[in-house]
Amino acid sequence: MTNETVHEVAGQAHEQIAFMSPENTLVLLTWAVFFGLLIILNKFAWKPILAGLDQREEAIRQSVEKAEQIQREYEQLNQKRQQILDESYAQAKEIVAEARKGAQNAARVIEEKTKEETQIMIENAQREIQATVQRAREDLRKESVDLAIQLAGKLIEKNLDEKDHQKLVDDLVRKI
Amino acid sequence: MNKKQLPNLTDLSLGLNVAAGFFVFTLIGYFIDQKRGEGHLGILLGMAIGLAYGGYEIWKLIRRQ
Amino acid sequence: MVFDFQNHIVHHMQNSYYWQLPFLPPVALPAPLTLHALMVIFAFFFLLILFCFFYKKNLPVPTGITNLLEAVVVFVRDDIAITSLGEKDGRRMTPLFCTFFFFILTLNVLGLIPLFATATSNVNVTGALAMVTFSFMVFGAIYKNGFKAFLRVLVPSGVPFPVLFLVVPLEFMGLFIRTFALMIRLFANMLGGHITIAVLIGLGVLFFGVITVPVVALVLMIYLIEVLIAFIQAYVFTLLSAMIIGQTYHPDH
């Protein structure tokens, strides 16, 4: 199969190359163009493009990682804040409870003390009343005895002197 | 696109590989015939080897599954 | 009007030493240069201008063409290179696959523009690219793993010893056949699309009448499918060459 020339019937002669015949110049030209493109484009196109793509992927990956890290830190801080809030709330509740208990205790103590004092005052008052009553009885007895003796003296028409008066009073009081 | 769902192009090109192999072996047989100048043994041998190659390729495909 | 159907198709498909522009006499190209070679050189300059002048470097947020090119490069790096070759080798071989992808895509799409031709519909161009893949596959693996380890790739596991005498030559031929299939795939897809369009247009001209309008509509649809196939074939070529290079770089037993 070599290069054949095909002549057209009506007019011009066109030099055609037969179908599927090997043309060495075309093969060599294709090789030359392909390797030329490979070398030139490698230097001017593929290397910069691929390097730029790698750089961009790296930058995106780093920024995504940083965003995730920030998210994680935020979560941690949030948790810590929540923890502190919970603790302080619990502490506040404790303080209030203690205060209430203390107040209750104080109230109870005051109540008891008041009760005791009242009790003491009552007892004192009772004792005073009793003493007063006793004294009043004594006075009453003495008066009645005096009256009785005076009456008796008047009856007897005797004037007792003071010592006999007194001895008689004491005897009568003893008897009564 | 899910990579697992892409058609396996080596499996798809089995047909063309078998046909091309048959054709190439037959061509080789034809040229051997031209050289000897007489007889048709070359072409027949080429066809036989081409069929064997086709069968070998199909056997490799079946074995992989 | 005599319409030479065969030559009409031939003019659209084959490589020639002339470049035919409409309403102008055909431009005679200088001696070893053919139409498809001219397309390859166009693609060379187009890619250089695209990547060296239209691409703005070091933008913090890329927009426009820069964004598009970066998206495609990321796609080639992640889905093609790293999937087939692993993390370290994938990053190292990404420039090769990017060049493959953009070069083949440019050649395919150039063929769809009305005045230009498809260089990848020529076996020589696709064969050259497949040979590049082959040399990376074989010599790259020998350079990376050593010659013995490369020979170990040819011996599949789980095969009893006597059968190996049949299997190893078949495996060895398999290296060449996979590369050959790579070449044939790109060549046939590009050529077939253009032949279909040329034949249908030719039929529309040959049987000029009512049938021309639906034919033209059909051709427009096939043209749109051609655009899709241009992208798909560039992707498939790059992905399959990455896979077969990966099979020899990291043989998985």
Residues 34-63 of chain C with CB under 8 A from chain A are 34, 36-37, 40-41, 43-44, 47-48, 51-52, 55, 57-58
Return the structure tokens found at C158. 């789980």
pLDDT band for A15, please (50, 70, 90 cuts).
Answer: low
Substitution target in C84, C168, C170, C172 with the highest count of B β-carbons within 10 Å is: C170
Q: Which of A9, A17, A30 sits opposite C125 (nearest CB)?
A: A30
Q: Is A21 helix (H, G, I), strand (E, B) or coil?
A: coil
Burial A134-150 (b: 16+ CB within 10 A, else e): eeeeeeeeeeebeeebe
Average pLDDT of chain A?
86
Note whether residue C17 is domain-resident.
no
Please tell me the pTM assigned to this model: 0.76
C66 touches chain A (CB under 8 A): no
Average pLDDT of chain B?
87
CB neighbours (10 Å) of residue C202?
18
Q: Quickly tell me which residue has 């940083």 as its tokens.
A: A66
Instruction: With an 8 Å CB cutoff and a minimum of 3 pairs, decide whether chains B and A touch.
Output: no
% of chain A with per-residue pLDDT over 90: 58
Q: How far is C113 from chain B (nearest CA, A)?
A: 29
Q: Are the CB atoms for A20 and A1 separated by under 8 Å?
A: yes
| Amino acid (one-letter) located at A145 | V
> Comparing C-alpha atoms, which of C62, C59, C141, C101 is closest to residue C235?
C101
For position A87, what pLDDT does the model report?
94
Note whether residue C15 is domain-resident.
no
B14 touches chain C (CB under 8 A): no
pLDDT band for C94, please (50, 70, 90 cuts).
Answer: very high
Determine whether the interchain pair C73/A53 forms a contact, defined as Cβ–Cβ distance below 8 Å. Answer: yes
Q: DSSP letter at C56?
A: P
Determine whether the interchain pair A30/C32 forms a contact, defined as Cβ–Cβ distance below 8 Å. Answer: no
Percentages of chain C per state (helix, strand, coil), in multiples of 5: 75, 0, 20
Residues 69-98 of chain C with CB under 8 A from chain B are 79, 83
CA dihedral C63, C64, C66, C68 (to 10 degrees): 110
Q: Are the CB atoms for C239 and C40 separated by under 8 Å?
A: no
pLDDT digits (tens, 9 = 90+) for A43-87: 988 888 888 888 888 999 999 999 999 999 999 999 999 999 999
Q: Quickly tell me which residue has 């090997």 as its tokens.
A: A22
Q: Are the CB atoms for C81 and C91 separated by under 8 Å?
A: yes
CA dihedral A102, A104, A109, A114 (to 10 degrees): 140
Sign for the pseudo-dihedral over CA of C8, C12, C17, C19? positive
Residues 137-166 of chain A with CB under 8 A from chain C are none
Q: Which residue of A has its CA nearest to C40?
A: A30
Instruction: With an 8 Å CB cutoff and a minimum of 3 pairs, decide whether chains B and C touch.
Output: yes
Q: Which residue of C has its CA nearest to B6?
A: C79
Q: DSSP letter at C112?
A: T
Please count the structural domains in chain C.
1
Q: Which residues of B touch C174 (CB under 8 A)?
A: 17, 21, 53, 57
Determine whether the interchain pair C181/B52 forms a contact, defined as Cβ–Cβ distance below 8 Å. Answer: no
B4 touches chain C (CB under 8 A): no
Q: Quickly tell me which residue has 């030493």 as its tokens.
A: C17
pLDDT band for B3, please (50, 70, 90 cuts).
Answer: low
Residue A8 has pLDDT above 70, yes or no: no
Q: Is C3 helix (H, G, I), strand (E, B) or coil?
A: coil
Of B5 and C112, more confident? C112
User: Which residue range is the domain that position C220 belongs to?
Assistant: 43-249
pLDDT digits (tens, 9 = 90+) for C140-156: 999 988 888 888 888 77
Return the structure tokens found at A159. 């004037």
Instruction: Give the span between the Cα atoms of C125 and A23, in whole angstroms.
Output: 9
Instruction: Give the span between the Cα atoms of A124 and A130, in whole angstroms.
Output: 10
- If you count DSSP H runs as helices and E runs as strands, how many of each does chain A have, helices first? 3, 0
Substitution target in C9, C99, C102 with the highest count of A β-carbons within 10 Å is: C99
Domain boundaries, chain A: 24-175
Q: DSSP letter at C76?
A: I
In the predicted model, what is the mean pLDDT of residues C231-243? 94
For position A12, what pLDDT does the model report?
45
Instruction: Give the span between the Cα atoms of A51 and C70, in whole angstroms.
Output: 11
% of chain B with per-residue pLDDT over 90: 58
Instruction: Give the span between the Cα atoms of B65 and C13, in whole angstroms.
Output: 42
Residue A134 has pLDDT above 80, yes or no: yes
For position C42, what pLDDT does the model report?
93
pLDDT digits (tens, 9 = 90+) for A103-117: 999 999 999 999 999
Substitution target in C173, C176, C248 with the highest count of B β-carbons within 10 Å is: C173
Q: Which of C15, C48, C128 sits opposite A17 (nearest CB)?
A: C15
Note whether residue C27 is domain-resident.
no
In the predicted model, what is the mean pLDDT of residues C242-253? 84
Sign for the pseudo-dihedral over CA of A133, A136, A138, A144? negative
> Comparing C-alpha atoms, which of C177, C217, C204, A22 is closest to residue B14?
C177
Domain boundaries, chain B: 13-64
Instruction: Give the span between the Cα atoms of C109 and C11, in whole angstroms.
Output: 19
**List of chains touching B (3+ CB pairs within 8 A):** C
Q: Quickly tell me which residue has 């995730």 as its tokens.
A: A68
CB neighbours (10 Å) of residue A89?
10
How, if at all, do strands C27-28 and C18-19 pair?
Answer: antiparallel
A18 touches chain C (CB under 8 A): yes
Instruction: Give the span between the Cα atoms of A155 and A162, in whole angstroms.
Output: 17
| Amino acid (one-letter) located at A36 | G
pLDDT band for A157, please (50, 70, 90 cuts).
Answer: low
Contacts of A37 (CB under 8 A, 6+ apart): C44, C47, C48, C99, C103
pLDDT band for C11, please (50, 70, 90 cuts).
Answer: confident
B31 touches chain C (CB under 8 A): no
